[in-house]
């Protein structure tokens, strides 16, 4: 049972990380939209863009992680969800495309008008993505996705009161997370005007997100009384309480300009909602399909668990490195590192023996790969051909470049 559940725990953890980190990214886009006509709008937009620049792609990859682990471990549930919710998920996909494109395009913008237009695209898509994904979550939560190939209703599954209110909640939460993070970054950089702007936004959006969450509870009660009941009783209740307390505490911390703890408090509040949601339905994924029933076979699950844990061992140090560099502001100020002027006397490698060796590799590769039939011969042949490219490259490029450099 543990083996069948573990990948779902990974998926939920990945989802929480996506909502917290990717959500903060999406929220940064929201603030670009929401600050069009203000005196320091330009600064706010640039700052939001700059803080997220180095980490944007990384935060986004959590979604890919969720998808791949999901379809490997719970294929039937994945197929059912993706086919019934094709429309909101396709809309989210378009939003992700537009965001990514805007991110890539901004590198080329030179005038305020150009970057303004790109920011508008970025911002609109940043609202679209969490909303669409939120409606999809709402559809699953209210059991509107049955098992089967597009077995649910293509429209009403995600266009219903609960889905819409969860979509709005996702947008508000993203905006809130982003404002808290950006206020923290601005405080760290001693950008006091920006810090004030983001602090106000954090407080405003925090209140808005909290109000939406409370509103959501009422909508849920009207739409699906059973889900309402399961959220507010038993296993899910502690998580709901943790989330509410963390949300309130974060507001207080932001108010008192204690941004670093606020960053974590906000994340906790959001992650706790996901935990509560999962606990309230456990072990059901879709109506009539439990985690255990949906799970793939033993070998696959073992491979997934080993791959995820092994991957995490490599991934987390790298992630920590990236966030430490980003949060420490290392990417913001260039310290000019002088190029060490060297007087190079060596002319470079002697091309002739390299070229001969390359030729020998090519002939050997041809014989082993194209004439011989044994598998081992093919392997050696491929190695020879790689050797041909490598040696040939050294034989041509290094002497050529060194000669050029000598005549500069």
Please, are residues 47 and 278 in contact by the beta-carbon 8 Å criterion?
A: no
30, 65, 158, 259: which one binds other proteins (CB under 8 A): 65
Q: Which of 89, 86, 25, 107 is nearest to 61 (CA)?
A: 25
Q: Which stretch binds other proteins (CB under 8 A): 135-143, 190-198, 275-283, 400-408?
A: 400-408
C-alpha 181/C-alpha 168 separation (Å) is 20
Q: Does 327 bind other proteins (CB under 8 A)?
A: no
Q: Does 345 bind other proteins (CB under 8 A)?
A: no
101, 203, 357, 380: which one binds other proteins (CB under 8 A): 101
User: Which of 40/68 has CB closer to other proteins?
Assistant: 68
| Site for other proteins, residues 354 to 373, rule: CB under 8 A | 355, 362, 365-366, 369-371, 373
Q: Does 376 bind other proteins (CB under 8 A)?
A: no
Please, are residues 29 and 175 in contact by the beta-carbon 8 Å criterion?
A: no
C-alpha 247/C-alpha 262 separation (Å) is 9
C-alpha 216/C-alpha 237 separation (Å) is 16
Please, are residues 30 and 178 in contact by the beta-carbon 8 Å criterion?
A: yes
Q: Does 315 bind other proteins (CB under 8 A)?
A: yes
Please, are residues 101 and 121 in contact by the beta-carbon 8 Å criterion?
A: yes
Torsion of CA 15, 158, 129, 34, to 10 degrees: -120
| Site for other proteins, residues 125 to 184, rule: CB under 8 A | 148-151, 154
Q: Does 342 bind other proteins (CB under 8 A)?
A: yes
Strand partners for 290: 284
- Residue ranges of alpha helices (H) inside 142-258 are 161-188, 192-223, 225-231, 236-255
Least distance (Å) between residue 278 CB and other proteins: 20
Q: Does 69 bind other proteins (CB under 8 A)?
A: yes
Q: Does 187 bind other proteins (CB under 8 A)?
A: no
Provide the residue count of the chain. 408
| Site for other proteins, residues 32 to 51, rule: CB under 8 A | 46, 49-50
Strand partners for 289: 286
CA distances from 273 to 13, 122, 241 (A): 12, 27, 9
Q: Does 330 bind other proteins (CB under 8 A)?
A: yes
Q: Which stretch binds other proteins (CB under 8 A): 30-38, 166-174, 244-252, 328-336?
A: 328-336
Q: Does 90 bind other proteins (CB under 8 A)?
A: yes
Q: Does 393 bind other proteins (CB under 8 A)?
A: yes
| Site for other proteins, residues 269 to 308, rule: CB under 8 A | 296-297, 299-300, 303-304, 307-308
User: Which of 149/190 has CB closer to other proteins?
Assistant: 149
């Amino acid at each position: 049972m543990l083996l069948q559940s573990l990948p779902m725990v990974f998926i939920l953890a990945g989802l929480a990380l996506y909502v917290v980190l990717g959500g903060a990214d999406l929220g940064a886009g929201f603030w670009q939209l929401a600050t069009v006509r203000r005196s320091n709008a330009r600064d706010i937009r640039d700052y939001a863009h700059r803080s997220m620049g180095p980490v944007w792609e990384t935060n986004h990859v959590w979604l890919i992680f969720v998808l791949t682990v999901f379809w490997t471990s719970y294929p039937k549930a994945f197929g059912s969800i993706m086919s019934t919710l094709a429309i909101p998920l396709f809309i989210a996909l378009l939003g992700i495309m537009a965001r990514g494109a805007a991110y890539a395009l901004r590198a080329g913008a030179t005038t305020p008008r150009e970057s303004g237009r790109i920011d508008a695209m970025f911002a609109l898509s940043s609202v679209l993505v969490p909303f669409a994904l939120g409606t999809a979550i709402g559809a699953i939560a209210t059991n509107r996705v049955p098992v089967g190939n597009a077995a649910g209703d293509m429209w009403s599954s995600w266009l219903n009161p609960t889905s819409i209110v969860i979509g709005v909640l996702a947008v508000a939460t993203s905006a809130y997370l982003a404002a808290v993070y950006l206020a923290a970054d601005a405080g760290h950089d001693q950008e006091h005007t920006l810090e004030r702007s983001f602090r106000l936004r954090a407080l405003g959006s925090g209140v808005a997100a909290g109000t939406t969450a409370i509103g959501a509870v009422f909508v849920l009660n009207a739409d699906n009384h059973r889900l309402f009941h399961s959220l507010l009783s038993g296993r899910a209740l502690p998580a709901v309480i943790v989330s509410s307390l963390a949300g309130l505490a974060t507001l207080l911390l932001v108010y008192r300009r204690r941004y670093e703890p606020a960053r974590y408090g906000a994340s906790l509040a959001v992650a706790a909602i996901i935990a509560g949601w999962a606990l309230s339905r456990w072990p059901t994924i879709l109506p009539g399909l439990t985690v255990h029933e949906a799970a793939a076979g033993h070998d696959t699950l073992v491979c997934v668990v080993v791959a995820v844990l092994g991957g995490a061992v490599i991934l987390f140090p790298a992630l920590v490195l990236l966030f430490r560099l980003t949060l420490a502001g290392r990417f913001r100020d260039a310290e000019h590192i002088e190029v060490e002027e060297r007087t190079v006397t060596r002319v470079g490698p002697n091309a002739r023996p390299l070229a001969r060796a390359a030729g020998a590799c090519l002939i050997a590769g041809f014989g082993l790969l194209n004439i011989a039939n044994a598998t081992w011969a093919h392997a050696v042949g491929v190695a020879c051909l790689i050797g041909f490219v490598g040696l040939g490259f050294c034989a041509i490029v290094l002497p050529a470049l060194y000669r050029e450099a000598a005549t500069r």
